[in-house]
């Protein structure tokens, strides 16, 4: 098991084939996908495909989303972390993202994932800048990004839906850290 970050209550590790049931529980939930295009997965094969996609990012880019595991129970809570992205905007950037199973919403876990990911990105990977996007109606996600120290810089359209764009560079992060 390749662990990248360990906190008092969370483990951030590579997503593994054994996470298939957790990925299915996460990504088959229509409420989880409410602000993600509303297209939850329908079967275990799609969950396996999601895992393969993420694991290919580790190989191709040296970074990709990690499984977020409850340290106490060992349960799969969701995924989070950094990845090289070029889908949301028309340029490559390091993207901060997270997705949690509904039972973990509203417990400060998203904010902890965001802060730990920024810390890892700037301190360990030495990135100059990290970005993120959130549907303007996703109040929880917008709060997480703001609480983590990221700065809202603009609003843009993605598939005819307004999104907020966030950025933080290493110097700015050092000031809020």
- Give the CATH number of the domain where residue 37 resides: 3.40.630.30
Q: 57, 46, 66, 55: which is closest to 117 by C-alpha? A: 66
- Can you tell me which residue has the tokens 């993202």? 97
> Please, which residues have CB within 8 angstroms of residue 140's CB and are 6 or more apart in sequence?
105, 106, 110
52: pLDDT strictly greater than 80: yes
Going 121 to 70 to 21 to 99, the CA torsion angle's sign is negative
Average per-residue pLDDT for the chain? 94
User: What pLDDT does 97 receive?
Assistant: 96
Please give the average per-residue pLDDT across 7-26, as a whole number: 97
Give the C-alpha distances (Å, rounded to integers) separating 13 from 46, 106, 118: 21, 22, 15
Checking if the pLDDT of 176 tops 90, the result is: no
All residues at 6 or more sequence positions from 148 whose CB lies less than 8 Å from its CB, including other chains: 96, 111, 114, 115, 118, 168
Asked if pLDDT for residue 68 goes beyond 90, the answer is yes
Mean pLDDT, range 132-140, rounded to an integer: 96
* Section 49-69 average pLDDT: 96
Residue 144: other Cβ atoms inside 10 A: 24
What per-residue confidence (pLDDT) applies to 144? Answer: 97
For the chain, the domain total comes to 1
**Structural domain of residue 166, as residue ranges?**
3-176
Distance, CA of 118 to CA of 149 (rounded, Å): 9
pTM metric for this prediction: 0.95
What pLDDT is stored for residue 87 in this prediction?
A: 65
C-alpha Rg value of the chain to the nearest Å:
15
- Quote the pLDDT of residue 89: 63
């Amino acid at each position: 098991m390749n662990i990248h970050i360990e906190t008092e209550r969370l483990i951030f590790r590579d997503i593994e084939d054994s996470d298939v049931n957790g990925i299915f529980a996460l990504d088959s939930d229509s409420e989880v996908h409410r602000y993600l295009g509303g297209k939850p997965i329908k079967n275990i094969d799609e969950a396996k495909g999601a895992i393969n996609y993420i694991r290919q990012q580790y190989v191709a880019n040296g970074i990709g989303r990690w499984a977020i595991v409850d340290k106490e129970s060992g349960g799969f809570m969701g995924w989070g972390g950094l990845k090289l992205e070029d889908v949301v905007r028309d340029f490559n950037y390091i993207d901060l993202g997270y997705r949690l199973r509904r039972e973990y919403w509203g417990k400060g876990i998203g904010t902890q994932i965001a802060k730990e990911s920024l810390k890892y990105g700037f301190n360990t990977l030495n990135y100059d800048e990290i970005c993120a996007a959130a549907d303007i109606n996703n109040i929880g996600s917008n709060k997480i990004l703001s609480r983590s120290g990221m700065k809202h810089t603009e609003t843009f359209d993605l598939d005819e839906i307004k999104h907020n764009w966030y950025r933080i560079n290493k110097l700015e992060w050092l000031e809020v850290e």
